[in-house]
A and B are shown apart, each in its own frame.
Chain A
Amino acid sequence: MTEVEVSPEVAEYTEVHRHPEPKGFWSKYIFSVDHKVIGIQYLLLAVVAVFVGMALSLLVRLRLICPECSYPTLGTLFPVGAPEGVMTPEFYLAMLTMHGTVMVFMVLTTAPQGGFGNYFLPIQIGAADMAFPRLNMLSFWTTFVSFMLLMAAFVVEGGAPQTGWTGYPPLSAVPEATVPGIGQDLWLASIAVFCIASLLAALNFIVTILDLRAKGLTMMRLPLTCWTWFITAILGLLAFGVLLAAGVLLLMDRNVGTSFFVPGGLIVSDKQIDHSGGSPILWQHLFWFFGHPEVYIAILPGMGVTSHVLSTFARKTVFGYRAMVYAVIAIGLLGFVVWGHHMFVSGMSPYSAFVFSVLTMCIGVPSAIKTFNWIGTMWGGKIRFTSPMLYSIGFVSLFVSGGISGIFLGQPTIDLYFHDTYFVVAHFHLIMGVAAIFGMFAGLTFWFPKMFGRMMDERLSKIHFWLTFVGVYAIFGPMHYLGMLPHPRRYAEITGVDFLMEGGAAQLHLFITVAAVLTVLAQFLFLYNFVKGIYAGKVCTDPNPWEATTLEWAISSPPPHDNFGGKVPHVYRGAYDFSLGGAKRDFAMQCNDDRAVYGEPSAASGD
């Protein structure tokens, strides 16, 4: 083992036990217990999943603008779903379901938390690894099994499920109600396995943050990225267990003959179903008790990265650090008591709807605190418009745009009109889909030099930012108008209701599809930039190219095995000490003591 040099940034450190580096290919890259390798495995899984998800969304868009068009390649791939290349309505629903499921579970849940969280959480808190490295490996491979189960739904007889990512019964509970096959069962098995993986991962994250912080790293000195990963983990710990229970119940309804979610007297294809006593609303309660926290599981890490990046490139400390922390906690707590706003049209007492509505509005307060603090962080700063900074500003923009429509939808009277229209599609894609994705772009471009020791091409990243930023607004902006028509979502085609396709709706659909194709093409630019960066990017020997303050920038790039080589840095200050008066540089790293920052002992108290 070679001796790892301690960065000159580290003022003082504690010697701890070093773990031997694995030698074999399998233990080093496949069944690795190293959090950095596992983080990259999660990211790669998410990259594969996101391209699958995008391809599915394009099929959905193509079916919407031209239901009768034929795509011969598709006919070869899916002879049943697309006979002679023409997509059937059932195929459309299957693609839509799988798009949602793949994106929500395999991309938005895995990459921000499993990917970036795994890679950078231990380093940012000065730990050698997660608290339970082997459990961490188990979490990833369980997630992988879940992904394979989900993908298997494409190839089984009957194809992928057609019940939407929410899998509402009785459609999903009664096999006779959709194309027969085990697609829905595979989907449910995949979700159940995914729940177990996420539970284990969440447990690991919480223990790591509470138990493994370096000396001097108090909770209120944590980078905001760590805070969001922490709260996300708590949400995951409490939410996935409920979905697991719901998934098991639905699997039993389908395969054991129970009727938890199937009411009596249900008639499918002129035949009465032999079930009684259950309630489809029960599934909605259980699902959305998970489903709403899930939205924050997707978006919170993006908020953390955005706060982190905005502060770094505005060269200013985060405006209202404590308020940011409390806002994240408040969003996490409120996330558990608003699930009913997904069910305003499910036959709910107006008094219940009122309570859920008021609680939903309350989320606007911490969200606004975060938004104003992001703006306050940038205000008067010496802003460096690097690509991660652009993506982060894009995140703020998308978060606000998607958030405002959320205020509309949170009110029962308005939601009755907008429910299940394209307005909802626009809302959740902007705030939970694309904003979270922009958080990932920010994270990837920001941490790329640390992960691979090379730089991505800044120019290409910036071009990609503008193409994507304009692209997503072109896709989801017009959907607000479609929703007001009100154009219903999840319909393969609109026939017999002419007024819905008037007023420019057909042309808007065409416009959205063209924008979607172009935006997806722009992602290949990012992929090219990413892959090229790994193999042929400009070598970055400087461990801290962005002049950032947190611990990961004090070690070489890519970080050595064990991160700090058995020498844990001590932490002296908060995570965002920029533009300090009297300091030698315009920033102070968390591991710099006052002597390193100000050049003489006890010039300032530092805290």
Chain B
Amino acid sequence: MSDAHAATVAQPTWQGGGTPLAVGHKKLGMWLFIMSDSLTFSALLLTYSYVRVANDWPTPFHFFPSIVFSTVMTLVLLTSSLTMVFAVSAAHHGARRKAVKWIWWTAIFGSIFVLLHSYEWMHLMVDEGMYPWANEYGTPLFGSTFFLITGLHMFHVITGVAYLAIVALGYRRGKWLPEDVEVAGLYWHFVDLVWMFVFPLIYLLSTSVD
């Protein structure tokens, strides 16, 4: 590892044989967490595939409003990833105020996603009678998998918004480094990436083509 490169990454506590991947603790830790968490999501998505194949699966969603609405949600989440990229980039260029601003925008788009998602849940439960244990479309597992997988994803988004807020405050006060912003970015992009699997599998594949 060249010295010039070494200066740009967080150093291990001991200047010894560390950083074989030229990655600091926190970043490596986040990558490992993402690997582990993606296994958890994979298990749930495989569960979904398994019960979907094993049952006569309903396709109750329609282009309007379900798909239009979830597409808007997807756009909001994708936009938040874009603002996160701006934040990480600004942090690496030492533009602290700008970076903090973009982190807050990311948190705001994340919150909008949560609000839209909650509204959708309310609509499905109150208007459509769809619950984790029963629904009017067919096999009860349709609702179970929907609420389980989108629920776990939404939990990750809510956690992410809180995490972003902490990073924004800590980074503004100079307590945290640009790499901490990048690590938060890793998490945020991962949550976004999970949605890129949820959206086609849960929404698009459950749509009737009218």
Residues of A near any B CB (own CB < 8 A): 14, 16-17, 126-128, 131-132, 199, 202-204, 206-207, 210-219, 237-242, 244-246, 248-249, 252, 256-260, 275-279, 282, 285-286, 289, 568, 570-571
Contact = CB atoms under 8 A, between A and B. Distances in A.
B29 interface: yes
Given A245-B47, A256-B132, A126 B14 contact: yes
A252 B14 contact: no
A571 B42 CA distance: 41
Contacts of B89: none
Contacts of A568: 14, 16
A213 B18 contact: yes
A133 to B, nearest CB: 11
11 contacts: A210-B19, A211-B24, A212-B18, A213-B16, A256-B144, A277-B51, A277-B139, A277-B141, A278-B51, A279-B50, A571-B17
Given A212-B18, A219-B20, A245-B44, A260 B12 contact: no
Contacts of A213: 14, 16-18
B16 A14 contact: yes
A257 B39 contact: no
A465 B32 CA distance: 40
Contacts of A282: 47, 50-51
B126 interface: no
B73 to A, nearest CB: 23
B39 A212 contact: no
B173 to A, nearest CB: 20
Contacts of A275: 140
A245 B43 contact: yes
Given A260-B47, A568-B16, A276 B140 contact: yes
Interface in B150-180: none
B8 interface: no
A211 B25 contact: yes
A606 to B, nearest CB: 16
Nearest to B38: A241
Nearest to B52: A277
B17 A257 contact: no
Contacts of B44: 245, 249
B43 A241 contact: yes
B13 A17 contact: yes
Interface in B49-76: 50-51, 54-55
A212 B12 contact: yes
B140 A277 contact: yes
A259 B140 contact: yes
Contacts of A256: 132-133, 144
Interface in B1-31: 12-21, 23-25, 28-29
B43 A218 contact: no
Contacts of B55: 277
Contact of B144 (A16, A214, A260): A260
Interface of B: 12-21, 23-25, 28-29, 32-33, 35-37, 39-44, 46-47, 50-51, 54-55, 132-134, 139-141, 144, 148
B37 A215 contact: no
A256 B46 CA distance: 20
A244 B40 contact: yes
Nearest to B10: A211
Given A244-B40, A279-B54, 14 more contacts: A14-B14, A16-B15, A202-B32, A203-B36, A213-B17, A215-B14, A240-B36, A241-B39, A245-B44, A258-B141, A259-B141, A277-B54, A282-B50, A570-B16
B64 to A, nearest CB: 28
Contacts of A203: 29, 32-33, 36
Q: Which of B14, B25, B50 has the most CB of A within 10 A?
A: B14
Contacts of A242: 39-40, 42-43
A207 B133 contact: no
B43 A260 contact: no
Contacts of A202: 32, 36
A238 B36 contact: yes
A443 to B, nearest CB: 25
A127 B18 CA distance: 11
Contacts of A240: 36
Given A14-B14, A260-B144, A277-B140, A211 B40 contact: no
Nearest to B42: A242
A126 B16 contact: yes
B36 A131 contact: no
A241 B36 contact: yes
Given A210-B21, A257-B132, A215 B32 contact: no
Contacts of A286: 43, 46-47
A464 B41 CA distance: 47
Contacts of B54: 277, 279
Given A252-B144, A277-B55, A212 B133 contact: no
B10 to A, nearest CB: 10
Contacts of B141: 258-260, 277-278
Nearest to B39: A241
Nearest to A218: B17
Nearest to A242: B43
Contacts of A244: 40
A199 B40 CA distance: 11
A238 B37 CA distance: 9
A248 to B, nearest CB: 8
Given A14-B15, A259-B141, A238 B24 contact: no
A131 B17 contact: no
A249 B148 contact: yes
A207 B32 contact: yes
A172 B129 CA distance: 28
Contacts of A207: 25, 28-29, 32
B29 A131 contact: yes
A433 B57 CA distance: 44
A217 B17 contact: yes
Contact of A258 (B16, B21, B140): B140
Contacts of A214: 14, 16-17
A276 B132 contact: no
Contacts of B32: 202-203, 206-207, 237
A132 B46 CA distance: 32
Contact of B16 (A132, A215, A246): A215
Nearest to A238: B39
Nearest to B48: A260
Given A256-B132, A278-B141, A211 B39 contact: no
A212 B14 contact: yes
Contacts of A215: 14-17
A245 B133 CA distance: 18
A543 B40 CA distance: 45
A277 B55 CA distance: 6
B28 A211 contact: yes
Contacts of A245: 40-41, 43-44, 47
A210 B37 CA distance: 20
B54 to A, nearest CB: 6
Nearest to B25: A131
Contacts of B20: 210, 219
Contact of B51 (A14, A260, A289): A260
A572 to B, nearest CB: 12
Closest 9 CB pairs of A and B: A257-B133, A215-B16, A245-B43, A258-B144, A241-B40, A241-B39, A213-B17, A277-B139, A214-B16
